[in-house]
Amino acid sequence: MSRQEADIEGVTNSFYREGKTDGLPVVPPSEERVEQMLEGTDLPRDDVIGRLGTREGALTVEKLAVNGVMAGCLPIHMPLLVAGARALADPQSNAIQASVSTGSWAYLCIVNGPIREALDVNSDTGAFGPGFRTNRTVGRALGLAYKNTAQINPGEKEMATLGNPFKFSLFAGENEERSPWEPMHAERGYDRDESTITFAAPNSFLQYQFKAGARSDQEMVESLIQHTPPNMLGLKTETANERYEGAQLEVFYALCPYNAQELEGYTKAEIKAYIAENARRRADELFSVDLGSADADDGLQPLWGRQFQDPDRINLFVTGGSGRFNAVMGPTLGGPTTKRVELPDDWEALLERYGDELDREWGQASSE
């Protein structure tokens, strides 16, 4: 065993005992590796990106770099890591409740803009699956940064009843090139040529197939409603605010390019409005959220309820490759929060220096 291999084994074992890992091996965050990681940002190493958790909280640029090294990131990942950390630290993300609740929430990250190509973010075939370095390492690094900054470990602060296999890995780019609609970040007020990362915390991920054959637009949109479980509500109570007081739940629909293109005659707004109006369930099926429920003396209660309070509680984006599989994710707990990716002054030089570490000889993106 080489000295380097021994160091990796020793650091992994030590960090695991101290609760600083996600259970997988980590790259030792040596001074040299952290210094190299910090090349990816113009921010001072002691700059506080935000506060994570409750009391422990200050995430500095240096701490983020340490966790990025541990997760296997490259220096060119730092701009995306900083933006993701800012999204996590935004009080509207409610990342603390998603990190400690018994509800077992995941970290969903959606990347938009030119940074997808620069960092080889998978937005096509297998977008949410394994295989791409940026998707796997950046999502993992953001999870480690939150976990280690807020000092959260299962059975101590994290009380997830079952846990979530997507906790730090629900990370993909939007397939803007094959989408008939404006991308998510443009919907949220950013220019198309800007790069962003959007964070949300869904509880569940459900994938389904819209079968091939002669199908109408009506059936296509109906399938979105039919495959949305009753627990996936979209609502915002009057008490919800930037500190996340009150309930604020949303749902994300991930459409494959093929099915999205079949609906190109409609805008996202039209589809969302249709879903919000027509997604109805028996009232006793809907996930229970305390909205100041009526007393028994208030008389007969309605049998049917709307799953979505309004279209703003619905998010629609295109990702993945060829095929007819779509997914619905939710309900999300707080957010979503979107942050701009800000590049350092020497970005082109950094890409030239480290970009070849993302080169691959496999996996040709599909096209139609």
Residue 6 lies in a domain: no
On the question of pLDDT at 292 being above 50, the answer is no
Residue 4 lies in a domain: no
- Tell me what percent of the residues of the chain surpass a pLDDT of 70: 90
Average pLDDT, the chain: 91
Residue 366 lies in a domain: no
Beta strands in 113-176 (DSSP E): 170-173
Question: Of 21-30, 39-48, 115-124, 358-367, which range is least confident?
Answer: 358-367
Residue 92 lies in a domain: yes
pLDDT tens column, 296-340: 556 777 888 899 999 999 999 999 999 999 999 999 988 899 999
Residue 85 lies in a domain: yes
Those residues whose C-beta lies under 8 Å from the C-beta of residue 268, and which sit 6 or more positions away, are 181, 182, 187, 316
Confidence of residue 294 (pLDDT cuts 50, 70, 90): very low
Residue 207 lies in a domain: yes
Q: How far apart are alpha carbons 43 and 167 in whole angstroms?
A: 28
Confidence of residue 351 (pLDDT cuts 50, 70, 90): very high
pLDDT tens column, 19-66: 999 999 999 999 999 999 999 999 999 999 999 887 768 999 999 999
Q: How far apart are alpha carbons 65 and 223 in whole angstroms?
A: 43
Q: How far apart are alpha carbons 229 and 322 in whole angstroms?
A: 25
pLDDT tens column, 72-109: 999 999 999 999 999 999 988 989 888 999 999 999 99
Long-range Cβ pairs for the range 10-17 (8 Å, 24+): 15/70
Q: How far apart are alpha carbons 255 and 165 in whole angstroms?
A: 21
On the question of pLDDT at 365 being above 60, the answer is no
329 is in which domain, residue-wise?
A: 19-287+302-357
Q: How far apart are alpha carbons 171 and 186 in whole angstroms?
A: 19
Q: Which of 325, 280, 319 lies closest to 303 in space, CA to CA? A: 280
Q: Which of 75, 29, 88 lies closest to 21 in space, CA to CA? A: 29
Supply the pLDDT for residue 246: 63
Supply the pLDDT for residue 241: 66
> What backbone phi and psi angles, to 5 degrees, belong to 287?
-55, 135
Supply the pLDDT for residue 135: 98
Could you tell me the CA-to-CA distances from 276 to 119, 149, 263, 321 in Å, in that order?
36, 38, 17, 27
| Number of domains, the chain | 1
pLDDT tens column, 136-171: 999 999 999 999 999 999 998 889 999 999 999 999
Residue 353 lies in a domain: yes
Confidence of residue 357 (pLDDT cuts 50, 70, 90): very high
Those residues whose C-beta lies under 8 Å from the C-beta of residue 113, and which sit 6 or more positions away, are 183, 185, 190, 192, 193, 194, 195, 196, 341
Q: How far apart are alpha carbons 178 and 257 in whole angstroms?
A: 6
Residue 2 lies in a domain: no
